[in-house]
Chains A and B, each alone.
Chain A
Amino acid sequence: MARLQKLHDVPAWIRWPVYALLGIFLLTVVQSITGTERLTQVSTSREMLRWAVPIFLAGLGGLFSERAGVVNIGLEGMLILGMWFGAWGSIEYGAWWGLVIGMAGGGLGGLLHAIATVTFQVDHIISGVAINILAPAITRYLSDEIWASPTTSPRTTSVGDWDVPFLAGGTIFGWESPDVLLDIGKAEWWFVSDVADLIRGLLRGTHWVAIIAILLVPATTWLVWRTRFGLRLRIAGENPQAGEAQGINIIRYKYVAVVISGALAGLGGAFISTELSGLFQGGNSAGRGFIGLAALIFGNWRPGGVLAGALLFGYVFGLDLKDLDGTASHALLLVNTVVLGAVLLWAVKRRRTTDAVLAGILGSGAFIWWLSADAVPSWWSNILPYVLVLLVLVFFSQRLRAPAKLGEPYRKGS
């Protein structure tokens, strides 16, 4: 207990890498037991990042909106708008403009949500659902009008990616630097090479948008927790009347927050169409706006937490993508067993009987499943992120802190 407390005092930039290393260690151990290699391959972490970026951007968008008290279940729709407008902008004006226009498209969705919820006091969920229904319809119509095909666009251009020099063999002014992580990875040192592989997947062929997304973590923390704008935005979600009593125009902050929210989801969408798929294709969002919302809750409405959630969910999806025979996801069951075992210990220590029993049942269920089957069907990894969120909600909901007035109607002067 005391030791745990100490861990909490360690600064976040040390704590998180330690957590990550612990996670990789667990994966390595499981890998040694099960014989699969995919859990720590370069391609796995690359796919993880590719999935995580749009999830994270949507989740971060959700953070802005929900910190200002507006539930944003319309992120999925805003992401879809971003996908279309990003593709269109990229085709018409070039890659970077594509991203900007994608953000504008998502922001437009956000504006619509703000008008409905803030000005007209429509229920936040209803407005969000409406946007989620509207967005695919609009993009279908626009595609048909402009590209004469309701579902696909021509090829887009992309802003591309980057290899980090020295660590992942990037070039500096035409000189090809050494690829240190590749060498370590090849050396096949237990655990060390696994870590190297996973890091290399993040540093080689890294999308510029991914780099921007990572930078958004400190940027958002600064903006929302250190600036005047951020404080006023948060008061809109915590106690708008208190803000109003200090002369703050709450409505304006809610509007700005929801539009930023849409713009970030839009950037995530533009990333999907221009950087990942290379074209707009209806249905390509694959629910990542919703998963972003899940990452937001998982991450306790904090930027670092949202990133952690996005990476976790991205890992599960990314692993599944290359896992045609289902053996890697099968190995993941063993990981689940260990994690649930840890939860069990934690619950026992806190004398939370129900939690302990539940963790015990689920953990042994995962273990039995792992023993009795050689592979898991792919639907399992598709629902795994949602299962994870549910588990987090079940076990740790008391630790989660949503903004106090999230989703509540606000009327000026009452």
Chain B
Amino acid sequence: MSAVIELTGITKRFPGVIANDNVNLVVERGEIHAICGENGAGKSTLMKILYGMQQADEGTMKVDGEVVAFNSPTDAIDAGIGMVHQHFMLADQLTVLENVVLGAEPVRAGGAINFKEAKAHLSAVGADYGLTIDPDDMVETLEVGERQRVEIIKVLYRGAQILILDEPTAVLVPQEVEALFENMRELKAGGATILFIDHKLDEVLEISDSITILRQGKTVASMKNDGVTASDLAELMVGSELPSPETAESTVTDHVALSLRDVTVVDDDDRSVVENINLTIHKGEILGIAGVEGNGQAELVDAIIGTASVSKGVVELLGTDITSMSVRKRRESGIAYVPEDRHREGLMLEAPLWENAALGHQTQKPYGSRWFMNRAGTRAQTELIREQFDVRTPNVDVSAHALSGGNQQKLIIGRELTSAPSLLLAAHPTRGIDVGAQAAVWEQIRNARKAGLATLLISADLDELIGLSDTIVVMLRGRMVARLSPSEVTPRDLGAYMTGAATQDTSSPDTSSPDTSSPDTAGR
């Protein structure tokens, strides 16, 4: 075997932080090489440097034994490198085909894109690696897993032999992760080299041949994956034991915090995306919702927070009907919200951290009042969140886009949990957060639960869902199809309910009419 990538002494500084500090990385040809490390360790930065999106301040890069200097992704693409980013880089309103060919369009004389040839090439690439996708679909209609497939095909389409996948599994459910790993093995068999980043250590151990660990911008270890255990890795990454999301004794009370009665939400085309949902969350209870993305969970959350209107049914918070209350009123009456897409709904990327910390709570103490923001109070509160939730940043004046993905997430969690909410809507709260910080977030949620917080938890991480929840309900095609007790269910079972392979007679009138299951999915 020969080294296909050799990075030596890579250093990259940003104002106030050293993202990479003399990093060394050697990747053998044809291997799957995992990069691990806590949030802000510099993994994404290192990969962006290798992909030519950012330039190192110091250090040399060798690809295939030759020294290279990449000024833009074009150079890296020419050298056979492709990258799938932590935050997807797709245009929603373009088709799959358009997204894939972008930058490598086959053209006829005159500049017209040869879509026929492009399609043929795309399906050839797809067939080679067992990735199927309809090239004419609009990206906005795709599920997350499919989007990821588009991203991977995009890279393969250019004939990349070296693939960089930045946290590819963060947004996937277990079945999709399996499929992804299958694809990765095929790619490897075809001679490709894969570099990938992941916070889930069991996944790393399952798929990788070698592992490199970064900590505070430095390489702390690089090893072959044999005989290594998850706790070894955790020890190296964060210097502590592996956490688990086990919930302590039940704290569920009799006081109803949130109650939904017959809630139905329809989309623009009048199809129900959430149908006749009945559920109750008590103070001190965590209710987990399991489901493959796109089965109505997001719309259900939208209906509770108020960004989607309820076409039928009632939403009650602490006994008050909030069905037609404005979003701000709902926030002020104690709903905290961790959105599923931190970039779209959670942050203003161009604004400083302290402004982001006030987002959604700007009319409440200590951030401000009805008319004015309280700068000093907001900044102090931001510092508090930073400390309590370990948000790694040089100061609170940097803009949110300068934070690593996991630290952005921690800021959002901190903002929501410190607002003393009565109801927390948390969609994938630990998505992209490292194992150490994950434990801290779980701890915070548990403490809040003990103090009487009601939580609606959506998570693709089934261990987290099972470990934290007091009750789990499964959503499929907008309806509740099962209600399970976390102590009696395994991730496997849950997966079966989520895909509809297993069913449960929930014996409530709202889920027992199977006849109307087609209209909401048939048109897709």
Contacts and interface: CB of A to CB of B under 8 A. Distances in A.
Interface of A: 222, 226-229, 231-232, 234-235, 238-239, 241-248, 350-351, 398, 401, 403-404, 409, 413-414
Interface string B84-113: 010001111110001101111101001111
Given A228-B113, A231-B98, A238 B93 contact: yes
Interface of B: 51, 53-54, 72-74, 77, 83, 85, 89-94, 98-99, 101-105, 107, 110-113, 115, 154, 268, 270, 350, 401
A229 B102 CA distance: 10
A243 B103 contact: yes
Contacts of B111: 227-229
Contacts of A228: 105, 107, 111-113
B103 A226 contact: no
A248 B93 contact: no
Contact of B73 (A232, A244, A350): A244
Nearest to B106: A228
Q: Which secondary structure dominates where chain B touches chain A?
A: loop
Given A238-B91, A245-B53, A247-B72, 12 more contacts: A226-B113, A227-B107, A228-B105, A238-B92, A244-B53, A244-B73, A245-B51, A246-B77, A351-B270, A404-B91, A404-B92, A414-B401
B89 A241 contact: yes
A239 B74 contact: no
Contacts of A239: 89-92
B73 A231 contact: no
Contacts of B98: 231
Contacts of A409: 350
A401 B93 contact: yes
A248 B102 CA distance: 9
Contacts of B83: 245
Given A242-B90, A413-B54, A350 B270 contact: yes
A242 B91 contact: yes
B91 A247 contact: no
Given A227-B111, A235-B102, A413-B54, A246 B73 contact: yes
Nearest to B94: A238
A351 B89 CA distance: 37
Nearest to B98: A231
13 contacts: A226-B112, A227-B110, A238-B91, A242-B89, A243-B102, A245-B73, A245-B85, A247-B74, A247-B77, A247-B103, A351-B270, A404-B92, A409-B350
Contacts of A404: 91-93
A103 to B, nearest CB: 21
A26 to B, nearest CB: 27
Contacts of B91: 234-235, 238-239, 242, 404
Given A228-B111, A245-B85, A409-B350, A234 B94 contact: yes
**Cβ-closest 10 pairs across A and B:** A246-B103, A247-B74, A238-B91, A242-B89, A239-B91, A228-B105, A227-B111, A247-B73, A245-B89, A226-B112
Given A227-B112, A243-B102, A246-B102, A413 B53 contact: yes
B114 to A, nearest CB: 10
